[in-house]
A and B are shown apart, each in its own frame.
Chain A
Amino acid sequence: MSLRWSVGSTVFVVVSLLVAAVPTEARSLYGAAPASLRFDGGGEGLLRGGTAERVVSLQNQGEEATTFAISLEGDAGHWLSVASDMVTVPGKTTHPLAITVSVPETAANGVYEALVRITPAVASHDAEGGASSTIVQEILVPIKVHVTDTQSLRLTMTRISVPDLEVGGKLFVELDATNDGNVAAAPQVNAIVHDETRTQQLAMVSGRAGGLAPQTSGRLMADLGTLTLPVGTYSIRLLASLPDGEVSGGGPRDLYFDVLPEGTLAMSFADIAVAFGDGKAKKGDLVPIRITFTNTGLSPAVVGFKGLISRDGQPFETFSIEAIETATGATQTLEGFWRAEKTGDYGLTGALTIGPKRVETAPSTLEVPVKKDSPAPAALSLVVALAALVFVARRRGSL
């Protein structure tokens, strides 16, 4: 069944290899209970700085043992923790997965969402024909964390601006602000877009900026989404607000922005550096992958990373890091983690991704050497110990 095609061939052979006879039971069956979690302190909410733990039963009802990668995502994902980000569950068994939430001291009141993503590590298989695919089942456990406490939520805006964008591009609002309160502040921005003469309303959009830590100043960005506007100048009325809080200088403000032809705002990045761990790792290590870059373009960008990890020169698996907003002139670090499950010489190639656009990054390598069962250290220790004994004995004899 290893027929191969040659490019330009006019005779094609199509073989549909369906999976063998359909079994009566699922070969792959994973479950999680409860299907979702709510941390709410028994209905009254969790206090800032408080912790709570719940257990999810992770079920592997397949025949084979399966290793699951646990990742914690979402706005409150970094509040969550698990004992290990990899768990192996034998077939036909259940594993208690304890999930702990630690509410930061700076968290504002509200309901925060997170997601526990449970992904089975499925062994790749040899292709039996021209193309094949591994079927992976992920389980997503949505989590809500209800935070309540006494709080002071106050933000002072010192500057609001709207960068120009290209046709089909995203509309961002930049907010320079000072957080005068005692909790993190993430302002909501509502906007109405008009034509230049303000005679026609074209769109109502909104977005939320990232959080600003208490008693700090900084620049926040709110992503208001993609607008389908032709080239031209537009008026925008902005209002920044904080639910349950106060914003001074948040508007409403009337500003203008331009939609420019595609390609006008040269998108460029400089000082791109890729770190695949520190070049060496032990088998089983969790290896950080960091891509640092500076947005030297003329507009903010939402930048992610997609890469391919090769092992001993062969493609091994794909790797990606979620995109984050990067302001003009800002230096940003994308960070993800990858488990070195096997020994080998690994390579990482990839690209920064900005929507459909790609900026290739330099390749990086990682060596995961075979652990040698060398008796040398033990033997050496023995020799040193014997030498010490002889030395002490001689000294005592001489005394």
Chain B
Amino acid sequence: MPFATLTVVALFFVAAFAPMGLGQGASAPRLGSVDAPAEVTLLSGGARKVPITVHVADRGAGLASIEVELIKHGRTYAAVDLEPGNDPLVWTGNLSLKHTTPAGLYRLETVASDGVRGMHALSQDVEILPLAALGTLETSVSFGETGPNGWLGPAKVTYRNLGNVPLAVALTASPFIHEDGDAEIMPEHLEVRVGGDPLGRAGEPITLAPLSVGSGGVLELWLYVPSGSSQYVPPGEYTGTVDLSSEGVS
């Protein structure tokens, strides 16, 4: 009886901790190589399709499936079932990676199975590169019109972090130049608010709250038109530039 117990435990150990190559033999499929990029650059705001090509060394008794998984710290971030091509020894597919997939080193596990008794796995490293990406809905905004000593706005700018690393974002502005070029409204008169709360005047660079992955916000821009007594403010159209600088924070 003690001998029988020992045998069961030993078999369980093999089943639980040695899956790779289990069932190999005359009937088990066997992988040859996996073509996948060692580094992957994600696509800002979209999904990156990463082509995977697997060369099968031996179909064994019958190759039923090849699955590829991208794993980090035990979590699967993407998976795909490959399909055989015209050549039954070459299977292909695309791993689809969202732009929010965290940067870092992953394990790409490829498992071939006959669906019954045998499987074979290969593992390799893939690095997801950090991607800094900022998107805005607006390419220009209008403030409207007013007379001297009045506020214009809000002109709203909607922005979002569409990469996979947090972003540090700063806002600067150029002077608003009169259409005739003989007068300007300085960026000190441009006030930036978020949710109605003043964040600062653009005379100096304004640091926005750090943007975590996928998060965004709406900036409300208000422009003060100085009174005619404090500076020369002729009627007309004034144009300027608001600059959002983003830097990935690792």
What's the minimum C-beta distance from B235 to chain A, rounded to whole angstroms? 5
Q: How many residues of A contact B (CB 8 A)?
A: 61
Q: Considering the complex, which residues of chain B in the window 141-157 have a beta carbon less than 8 Å from any beta carbon of chain A? A: 141-148, 150-157
Chain A residue nearest to B148 in the complex (CB): A7
The B interface, classified by DSSP as helix, strand, loop or mixed, is strand
Contact among A13, A25, A29, A129 for B237, CB-based, below 8 A: A129
Contact among A3, A36, A130, A310 for B143, CB-based, below 8 A: A130
A31 at the B interface (CB under 8 A): yes
What's the minimum C-beta distance from B161 to chain A, rounded to whole angstroms? 10
B241 at the A interface (CB under 8 A): yes
Q: Considering the complex, which residues of chain A in the window 6-33 have a beta carbon less than 8 Å from any beta carbon of chain B? A: 6-9, 11-19, 22-23, 25-33
Question: B144 contacts A130, CB within 8 Å?
Answer: yes
Contact among A26, A57, A132, A137 for B141, CB-based, below 8 A: A132
- CA of A127 to CA of B247 in the docked complex: distance in angstroms? 30
A318 at the B interface (CB under 8 A): yes
Q: Which residues of A contact B68 (CB under 8 A)?
A: none
What's the minimum C-beta distance from B22 to chain A, rounded to whole angstroms? 38
- Residue-wise, chain B 120-162 has the 8 Å CB interface mask toward A (1 for contact) of 0000000001111111111111111111101111111110101
B93 at the A interface (CB under 8 A): no
- CA of A313 to CA of B178 in the docked complex: distance in angstroms? 13
Q: Which residues of A contact B136 (CB under 8 A)?
A: 26-29, 135, 137
The A interface, classified by DSSP as helix, strand, loop or mixed, is loop
Question: A31 contacts B44, CB within 8 Å?
Answer: yes
Q: Which residues of A contact B135 (CB under 8 A)?
A: 25-26, 28-29, 61
Chain A residue nearest to B243 in the complex (CB): A136
What's the minimum C-beta distance from A6 to chain B, rounded to whole angstroms? 6
- CA of A25 to CA of B139 in the docked complex: distance in angstroms? 13
Instruction: Decide yes or no: A132 and B239 within 8 Å by CB, A17-B144, A19-B137 being known contacts.
Output: yes
B248 at the A interface (CB under 8 A): yes
Q: Which residues of A contact B157 (CB under 8 A)?
A: 135
Chain B residue nearest to A117 in the complex (CB): B245
- CA of A3 to CA of B142 in the docked complex: distance in angstroms? 13
B106 at the A interface (CB under 8 A): no
Question: A5 contacts B181, CB within 8 Å?
Answer: no
- CA of A17 to CA of B129 in the docked complex: distance in angstroms? 40
Pairs A–B under 8 Å by Cβ, sample size 26: A19-B137, A19-B140, A25-B135, A26-B135, A31-B133, A33-B132, A35-B130, A35-B250, A36-B248, A57-B41, A61-B46, A122-B241, A128-B142, A129-B143, A130-B143, A131-B225, A132-B155, A133-B221, A134-B140, A134-B241, A136-B242, A136-B243, A137-B243, A138-B245, A139-B246, A140-B245
Query: Knowing that A5-B147, A18-B142, A30-B134 are A-B contacts, what are 13 other residue pairs whose CB atoms are under 8 Å apart, sorted by A's residue number?
Result: A17-B142, A23-B137, A27-B138, A31-B131, A31-B162, A124-B239, A129-B144, A129-B145, A134-B240, A139-B245, A141-B132, A313-B181, A315-B181
Q: A residues near B, CB below 8 A?
A: 1, 3-9, 11-19, 22-23, 25-36, 57, 59, 61, 94, 117, 122, 124-125, 127-142, 308, 310, 313-315, 318
